[in-house]
Structure 1
Amino acid sequence: MTPGLLHYILLALGVAATIIAHPTPRIDTSTDLPSNSVHQSGGKHHIVLFDSTLPNQPSIDDVLSRLGLYPEHEDVVNHFNGSGFRGFSANMDAHCLDALAEMSDVAIVEEVANVSMVETRSTAPWGLERISSAGTISGNPGTLNFTYSFDTGSGLGAGADIYILDSGINTQHVAFQDRAQVKVLVGSVEDGTGHGTHVSGIAAGMLVGVASRANILGIKMFEDNGTGSSDVALKAVGYAIDSHMARRNQTGFVGSVMNMSWRVPKINAMNMAIKAANDAGVHTIAAAGNDAEDACTGSPASSGGTGGNGITVGSIDISNAISKFSDTGSCVDVYAPGSNIVSAYIGGDNVIRPLTGTSMAAPHVAGIVAYLMTANQSLAQDPPAMKAFLKDTGLRDVITGPTLPGDPRILVNNGIRGK
């Protein structure tokens, strides 16, 4: 063998050895890769979409590899690799989410949401159409000629407890379908005025109510003639809190909301009791008051708005105008239908009639809270989060009429904007 040939062979072997020992370098597309991005199994289901404005989007394999994942991994659920957008969905914990947040070529990371169909219920009161639509509505408010739209996945409040602190409930009314019961603190077992029955129907009655599968728990704090006192009202709040605490670990229980369609001059004891309820995970809904004054001057209304985690509700009419009687101001959180609202009543098991007041506005919101608790259980026992959610999803710039300074002028909505 000539020296030249041997030299050639050795060079060739040297090149071959070099190739084996040092694989061909590739372009590094993982400059955003955090050092702690190894995937840990489990976590919540999230969608990840890449930045479509980039001239060269990363491949799905590339981004998954940065997380310590690969397309066939059991935690990778779906791939989106069409011409319109690119990304994937996967079960990921906070470790991966933190890593994705540092990647400049990732545009969106969101938790997967349930998709449900929207269902409608005709022969409804105007208030139900108002809280489930974005457009204007018209018609005779004293009829049931309106349409209620709702998310079929919401469960319509199934598993939620609505406490109605009021005059009692006509539990035999067909609107309640054996879902209503009453704890009597004063007076007889009967609803002497019909007020509590009407309020309960708006919150959770069949045909006339928002959350028509919720449990209705009346606490009778008014005498049969409609009179009441603040100490009995405090006792009613305490009873609701205790009942909620006893229910928390029961199968099928979702959460509790307390409706208070009444007003007393502002008293610190009542607001302290409302705070205790909120701290225990009970959502509290208060009528703003019917004196066309500052809602902050009364209780429990002053526990809402800027005053705490309670939710205070003012009244509008069918034209979206603030009802002339409604209290307003910085303690109000949202507005709901309160003028000429048809609901269940006393005098028979199928009697309905219209009533007017912020007493009628508040249970619309209590019903929405029960509805939302079953649809979004992260809100179920978190009153501050529920309050923020209602204000974020409410309709703005649609209410007319004067209000006191600091009033947010938000019209409550159940999340179905309808027609």
Structure 2
Amino acid sequence: MVVAGALFGAGVVEPPNALAASSDVYLVVVSGDKAVDIVASHFESQDVEVVAELTRAVDMVSAVLTPEQLADIRQRPGVRSVEPDELITTETVQTISSSRSDDNWGLDRIDQKTGTLDQRFHYLDTAGGAGVDVYVVDTGLRATHSEFVGRVGTGYFVPNVTDPETGEVYNLPSPEDDCGHGTHVAGIAAGTKYGVAKRATVIPVKIFPGGSAAICDRGTSVTAFTQGIDWILANRSRARPAVANLSLGLSSESAALNTAIQNLAAVMPVVVAAGNDGNLSTTAGYISAGTDSTRITRKSPACTADKLGIRGVLTVAATGGLAGDDNAPTFDGFDKEARYSNHGPCVDIFAPGTDIKSAWPVADNVDQRNPDVFPNNYSDNGTLKRSGTSMASPFVAGAAAILLQQFPTETPGGLTARILANATRDAVTLVPRAGVGAASPNLLLYVCGLDCMPSTPTAPKNVVLTRGARTEINVSWEAPESDGGAAITGYTATATPAAGPGVTCASVAPTLSCKLTGLAAGTSYSVTVTATNATGTGTTSTAKSLTPGAAPASPGTPAGATGNSEVRVTWTAPADDGGLAITKYTVTSTPEGKTCSPVGAELVCTVTGLSPGTAYTFAVTATNDAGSATSLTSATVVPVLPWEYVPAFVAVTPANRRVDLEWSEARVLGAAPAGYFTGYEVKDAKGAVVCVTTGLKCSIGQLTNASKASFTVAATTLGDKSQVAASNEVLVGGVRQLGNVMPRKASALLSKIATTNSKGKVTWRALSGGCRIVGKVLTAPSKGTSCRLRVSVAKAGAFPAQTLTVVIGLR
């Protein structure tokens, strides 16, 4: 198969006039995703049949257009190019009468430098392309074939293929191969027995309709091809390396196809067949970047790649020359250029292409080349020998898969350069052709050069970074997966900051560690490790980042402020953060280990859930990426419960050399633990404690009669004291009421109603209520509820004159 302008070669010989020059299916290439939507919407508004819309491989709309619609769309802004869709075909006409062997002779040839075959294919079982995806863009795949057991990934098929010449639409039901070509190509690239990369995963991308010889011979369209590439770009695994094989072709330039190839080659190497238009007598099959498309039947996308500066694409010509009549050629040597092969400076490399045995989707005992017999004869063990550059191309794709296992991060351009660098030079006997330009480069694929000859090591694995001293990073790693076939002699670790020079350290194998010194604390470094052997320095490890520095100094000693079952703790920042930002502060209580951490860089937080009345100390730990440091402990702090009621004096009664006090009960909010409430504390006017009690009364004695006295009372808990209540000032030993109730009509001595320690003259007077005073006796009235009296005491000695209003309740 051959793709020109953006693809390269063909897997089989195709008839000179297989492609139509014009069609009513056109490829409208636009600028950007939005332009695709605009053009598609415009077409739909005009009842134009849209075949496909693409935005990955190429921004394009494929549609069936009338001449008027075609003229209209060419004039619209954002349209880069409009071209007719074309047929892409796959067709086999080479029949070889001389069998090479029961196995694929091409495998025997590509693993050695000389042309004398040893009937062996040398390969490392661990290096057969494991972990690599091989995309086969072709006629599909017999996924259950014994050549691919356990190594077929989820593929894709273009649901509908529109023939660009006839307009007929073919419905593709699955990626299953109903033409055979795709299975054969995949078997060469990655078959278990006949393939190069025996451990690679095959992913079929079916773009050709099939089911009959007529349909298989007819081919597919550029639209279907770009849909297949679009699917690869959208669904490839970015975690796995991959290679694409394209064994197909068309006869003229295609801007859409050019763009699709360019985008695919940007993410994976692309291997294509050079084409099968060569012969001995004319210049047919000559491909170069300057070739006029009217001179040849096939063009190579490699030529387009050359003109566009695209790397990562290899065009493969075929060896296994043919002798005799064109209608019945015979095999004519392993290292002779196949005369059917396209040739010229756009070819990159040769690989075996004639009489190649590989997997086939139908049994060996039927007319295997006729897709009409496929439906009733599918087999998982069928094989067939075919010839063409379509067979040469997958040899190189398989070699690329093996190489990608060893160098999974290699760029497409770097990968193809490795293949060319390892090729055997001047091994191919080129066909002498008169009247053509430069010959094909004489390079023959050499696979053992990828596996068996020493190369640089792969990247060291599992790099681990730890901080050492303030300006140091300790680096350790595991040995690479592969030493490249030569003993590793040493390793180099490189630390690179965002700006400024890097720092390196080295170790001699087998030591797997070294220390980076002289770094700037607080500066982030990206650290990579490489391994070196006799061939050179290998690929770089995955970068790891670390900022050197030390643990911080201790924070300042914290201080605590008590609250409701909580303590608010404050502190100062460490004098030295170790060169690294403090990432966290943690306050921890003793006892109970309760903690809190501030938001951001604040230097305060509140420890909650503490036990009221328990004595706590607190310490603060500052943490950065290098470690932690803890402060000294705080002074003792006792969390408390808030007061619901505070005490208040309800009676302050002077007596002989004493004062009797009584107050209301205090209470805290919440459930106080046992023993939390400790009682009441009474102080005199000088602030001296004169009474401590758990009750609500206290008698303050040893006072001096005629002196004035006042007091305060406060409730106390294990860690708190309520608001102070103050009494009124009283006269010690002064006049005071003794009785406050008597029966109606009853009589009582006035000395039982009020008394004083003063020697002054006492005078009584009834004020209201009906009580009568006769001499030293008080008589209550027969009715009423109370009566008021006034007692006056004249000044005497130290006692001043005194007056007291007495209220007597009646009952």
Where does residue 177 of structure 1 map in the other structure? 149
Question: Could you tell me which of 258, 263, 268 is aligned with 1:276?
Answer: 263
Cα distance in 1 between the residues matched to 2:227 and 2:287 = 23
Where does residue 161 of structure 1 map in the other structure? 133
TM alignment of 1:233-252, pairs within 5 A: 233-244=225-236, 247-249=237-239
Cα distance in 2 between the residues matched to 1:391 and 1:199 = 21
Cα distance in 2 between the residues matched to 1:193 and 1:275 = 28
Where does residue 179 of structure 2 map in the other structure? 193
Contact 1:164-1:218 within 8 A present in 2 as well: yes
Alignment pair present for 1:395 and 2:424: yes
Where does residue 114 of structure 2 map in the other structure? 135
Where does residue 390 of structure 2 map in the other structure? 359
Where does residue 385 of structure 1 map in the other structure? 414
Question: Could you tell me which of 343, 348, 370 is aligned with 1:328?
Answer: 343
Question: Could you tell me which of 124, 127, 148 is aligned with 1:151?
Answer: 124
Kindly state the Cα deviation for residue 269 of structure 1 after the two structures are TM-superposed.
2.0
Alignment pair present for 1:257 and 2:243: yes
Secondary structure in structure 2 of the residue aligned to 1:150 = coil
Letter in 1 for 2:262: K
Secondary structure in structure 1 of the residue aligned to 2:443 = coil
Task: Decide which structure has greater helix share.
Answer: 1
When normalised by structure 2's length, the TM-score is 0.33
Where does residue 447 of structure 2 map in the other structure? 414
Secondary structure in structure 2 of the residue aligned to 1:162 = strand
Where does residue 318 of structure 2 map in the other structure? 315
Where does residue 220 of structure 1 map in the other structure? 206
> Closer, same or farther in 2 for the Cα pair 1:295/1:372, shift >3 Å?
same
Kindly state the Cα deviation for residue 346 of structure 1 after the two structures are TM-superposed.
1.1
Kindly state the Cα deviation for residue 405 of structure 1 after the two structures are TM-superposed.
0.7
Contact 1:184-1:220 within 8 A present in 2 as well: yes
Cα distance in 1 between the residues matched to 2:123 and 2:299 = 33
Kindly state the Cα deviation for residue 377 of structure 1 after the two structures are TM-superposed.
2.8
Cα distance in 2 between the residues matched to 1:277 and 1:133 = 31
Bigger relative contact order, structure 1 or 2 (CA pairs below 8 A, ≥6 apart): 1
Secondary structure in structure 2 of the residue aligned to 1:163 = strand
Where does residue 125 of structure 1 map in the other structure? 104
Question: Could you tell me which of 220, 232, 240 is aligned with 2:224?
Answer: 232
Larger Rg over CA atoms: 2
Secondary structure in structure 2 of the residue aligned to 1:147 = coil
Cα distance in 2 between the residues matched to 1:229 and 1:327 = 22
Percent of pairs with identical residues: 31
Kindly state the Cα deviation for residue 406 of structure 1 after the two structures are TM-superposed.
5.2
Kindly state the Cα deviation for residue 299 of structure 1 after the two structures are TM-superposed.
4.6
Gaps of 5+ in 1: 1-121, 139-144
When normalised by structure 1's length, the TM-score is 0.63
Cα distance in 2 between the residues matched to 1:123 and 1:134 = 22
Question: Could you tell me which of 402, 405, 414 is aligned with 1:374?
Answer: 405
Secondary structure in structure 2 of the residue aligned to 1:127 = helix
Query: For structure 1, which segment, 332-341 or 397-406, has the greater mean C-alpha deviation from structure 2 after superposition?
Result: 397-406
Kindly state the Cα deviation for residue 152 of structure 1 after the two structures are TM-superposed.
4.3
Where does residue 57 of structure 1 map in the other structure? none
> Closer, same or farther in 2 for the Cα pair 1:401/1:306, shift >3 Å?
farther
Kindly state the Cα deviation for residue 315 of structure 1 after the two structures are TM-superposed.
0.4
Letter in 2 for 1:157: G
Letter in 2 for 1:267: S
Cα distance in 2 between the residues matched to 1:394 and 1:304 = 21
> Closer, same or farther in 2 for the Cα pair 1:152/1:175, shift >3 Å?
closer
Letter in 2 for 1:298: K
> Closer, same or farther in 2 for the Cα pair 1:370/1:172, shift >3 Å?
same
Cα distance in 2 between the residues matched to 1:322 and 1:128 = 17
Where does residue 62 of structure 1 map in the other structure? none
> Closer, same or farther in 2 for the Cα pair 1:331/1:299, shift >3 Å?
closer
Cα distance in 2 between the residues matched to 1:306 and 1:397 = 26
Task: Decide which structure has greater strand share.
Answer: 2
Where does residue 276 of structure 2 map in the other structure? 290
Alignment pair present for 1:346 and 2:326: no
> Closer, same or farther in 2 for the Cα pair 1:303/1:209, shift >3 Å?
farther
Gaps of 5+ in 2: 1-100, 160-171, 279-284, 289-297, 321-332, 363-378, 453-811
Cα distance in 1 between the residues matched to 2:265 and 2:413 = 8
Contact 1:390-1:412 within 8 A present in 2 as well: yes
Cα distance in 1 between the residues matched to 2:257 and 2:305 = 12
Cα distance in 2 between the residues matched to 1:298 and 1:219 = 23
Kindly state the Cα deviation for residue 332 of structure 1 after the two structures are TM-superposed.
1.0
Secondary structure in structure 2 of the residue aligned to 1:371 = helix
Query: For structure 1, which segment, 268-277 or 257-266, has the greater mean C-alpha deviation from structure 2 after superposition?
Result: 268-277
